[in-house]
Structure 1
């Protein structure tokens, strides 16, 4: 039986990026997905310094040299930010020689040590009844939603740039002009250019257990924009976001958010998938000791974030983005930078008032919840990073 070098479960950004790089290195590839040719509709973004050199320039829809954070005060970030052109990103990850199968994976079997007729190979069982083996099987199907997992939700509209009274790009805008009660769960405005003519305006619940629903976010966005002189017509293109910000299994057989690549403080995973694809193809270890330790620290950070009273979130992010740029970068992007991540978290803790320190310390000391196994996940839609 002829088998491929690599079989990838899932054709979202993570799976497609991995397949694209495997083909570039001469491997034979099969991708299994219920809709392997479906066009992506979500907006993806990244810090420019996270991206590998092979990413096509045309995949970058907009570049922002100094995005803005509004917490209690205006903070200008000294780090270039990239918003992808989603369609061009997908097209740039071309798969000319891959075999694309429209099917669902129901089970993944690891390789056995030996059989009576020789070494066994990992395999997948498909909903159609077929069983496929390959030299390696990688699960890139994302993480299934679960009541036990914190989620990020957002509701956004796309408008012409000419309609905005101010041209600034907001990575996070926590100003209290969205009509929410003071003690209600907080959300922020994410306002980024998609290209020279269009801007995405998105009311975002960074992480919630449970997260804010779409109706609440819609009403808050409408209120916020109206207070800034922007009235929606109801005809604007809409983007809805909902996905887990943690979960997945950090091991050699999973990739993307299924492989715990999602940063729980931002929800970002696409840049990490792009950056780590070549390492997977080469068979390099993705989870050395420092990377696993950083992963645990980030999970502790998420527990701390979820424990904060809503009114304290702007103060928390004011303190974080007042840290030196290298400390911010270590925590947001240094997936194996244990020293930098720990130092950033300690510096942030020291900068916060005692009452917040106490809340964070209790939350961090709490044992983490057991997260669902990504191998039993149903594929995410294009609304979440995979």
Structure 2
């Protein structure tokens, strides 16, 4: 149990930030008998975002009640349909938060303003100390960072009859001009008879704003015969997909866990929480190499002309399931990630391949070039 020795709270672990990543890490530290202090300006805040994961990503210790809905084989659309043979789960945010209980932790309602190896200075002027201080506060927004944005509506699933769950749907029925930045429809059950329909800008610098996404979603739903009443619950999403700092003293999105191609970080944080609580390093040499490769993938994605994006994802979702899984979930799987990126690159049409190569390497490509076999290992 944390205690106060006159100079501030002393604990084995001090975690700043109580989003899913910070709370999961604190929960696993407590499960291992460590004394834990957590700092957050509003520690009891309700999580309003929707979190999802591939079922095989979730750790065994997670309470099964945290899963709100499961889609056995979600659909993806580029220019054509792709069935993903991998169960996908949508987490019940309230039950997830409750399952990551913090009994025994010292909870400090304050804002951390400066962190060092063993201390945290708070906005109130208080100084906390611990053997390990970990930053799990997420990533601050900046115009320099690519962001994911989305505008979603929660509907009674009966009003969406005939619309099956969609991991991403890039079809052009959202009213956007052909040369405008692309967005896709994300449609998943939430459990309890509700369904989330969300127009999403996967990554942009700058990203599409909420007004544009709202208009696109309304147009798309009308085109599919789904009428709105105006009383639907709204979900707005905006967060950086880059900017984390991998290291021993950061965790979750703040620690570089966000996947630059999907924005997902919760499943990776849940998976790593127990090992990090035990003192293991979250960032092996392989994990750091995968992190750099994913950053290269983001550069390529941001550079694609709008018309190329559905074709790019057609190629991705025709890859073998193992390659898809390695790229989407293999945070420490260097071999699998390299294989997936090579497979994707080889499957792209030649003009698109040249654009991806140019963006990935940060160089101009004026004519046809031969890509060395080691390109994806750099």
Alignment TM class, shorter chain as reference: over 0.9
1:216 corresponds, among 186, 195, 212, to 212
Q: Given the alignment of the two structures, is residue 246 of structure 1 paired with residue 242 of structure 2, yes or no?
A: yes
Question: Partner of 1:69 in structure 2?
Answer: 76
Question: Partner of 1:119 in structure 2?
Answer: none
Task: Give the superposed CA RMSD.
Answer: 0.9
Q: Given the alignment of the two structures, is residue 107 of structure 1 paired with residue 103 of structure 2, yes or no?
A: no
Contact kept? 1:255, 1:273, Cα under 8 Å: yes
Q: Residues 184-208 of structure 1: CA distance to partner in whole angstroms, max 9, x if unpaired?
A: 0000000000014000000000000
Alpha-carbon distance in structure 2 between the residues aligned to 1:204 and 1:70:
14
Q: After TM superposition, which residue ranges in structure 1, 4 or more long, deviate above 6 angstroms?
A: none
Question: Partner of 1:382 in structure 2?
Answer: none
Contact kept? 1:4, 1:30, Cα under 8 Å: yes
Alpha-carbon distance in structure 2 between the residues aligned to 1:196 and 1:131:
44
Could you tell me which runs of 5 or more consecutive residues in structure 1 were left unpaired when the two chains were aligned: 111-121, 368-386
Q: How do 1:219-368 residues align onto structure 2 when only pairs under 5 Å count?
A: 219-366=215-362
Question: Partner of 2:137 in structure 1?
Answer: 141
Query: What SS class does the counterpart of residue 350 from structure 1 fall into?
Result: helix
Q: Residues 273-317 of structure 1: CA distance to partner in whole angstroms, max 9, x if unpaired?
A: 101001111111111111100000000000000000001100000
Question: Partner of 2:189 in structure 1?
Answer: 193
Query: What SS class does the counterpart of residue 5 from structure 1 fall into?
Result: strand
Q: Residues 200-241 of structure 1: CA distance to partner in whole angstroms, max 9, x if unpaired?
A: 000000000000000000000000000011111111000000
Could you tell me which runs of 5 or more consecutive residues in structure 2 were left unpaired when the two chains were aligned: 364-378
Contact kept? 1:165, 1:229, Cα under 8 Å: no
Question: Partner of 1:173 in structure 2?
Answer: 169
Alpha-carbon distance in structure 2 between the residues aligned to 1:259 and 1:247:
9
Alpha-carbon distance in structure 2 between the residues aligned to 1:273 and 1:345:
23
Q: Given the alignment of the two structures, is residue 130 of structure 1 paired with residue 126 of structure 2, yes or no?
A: yes
Alpha-carbon distance in structure 1 between the residues aligned to 2:124 and 2:314:
52
Q: How many angstroms does 1:167 deviate by?
A: 4.1
Alpha-carbon distance in structure 1 between the residues aligned to 2:157 and 2:121:
48
Q: How many angstroms does 1:165 deviate by?
A: 3.1
2:28 corresponds, among 14, 21, 25, to 21
Contact kept? 1:158, 1:236, Cα under 8 Å: yes
Q: Given the alignment of the two structures, is residue 93 of structure 1 paired with residue 100 of structure 2, yes or no?
A: yes
Alpha-carbon distance in structure 2 between the residues aligned to 1:191 and 1:100:
36
Q: Residues 110-153 of structure 1: CA distance to partner in whole angstroms, max 9, x if unpaired?
A: 2xxxxxxxxxxx10111111111001000000000011100000
TM-score (norm 2): 0.93
Q: Residues 65-104 of structure 1: CA distance to partner in whole angstroms, max 9, x if unpaired?
A: 0000011111100000000011111111111111111111
Q: Residues 313-338 of structure 1: CA distance to partner in whole angstroms, max 9, x if unpaired?
A: 00000000100000000001111111
Query: What SS class does the counterpart of residue 38 from structure 2 fall into?
Result: strand
Contact kept? 1:152, 1:208, Cα under 8 Å: yes
Q: Given the alignment of the two structures, is residue 183 of structure 1 paired with residue 176 of structure 2, yes or no?
A: no
Question: Partner of 1:381 in structure 2?
Answer: none
Alpha-carbon distance in structure 2 between the residues aligned to 1:57 and 1:198:
19
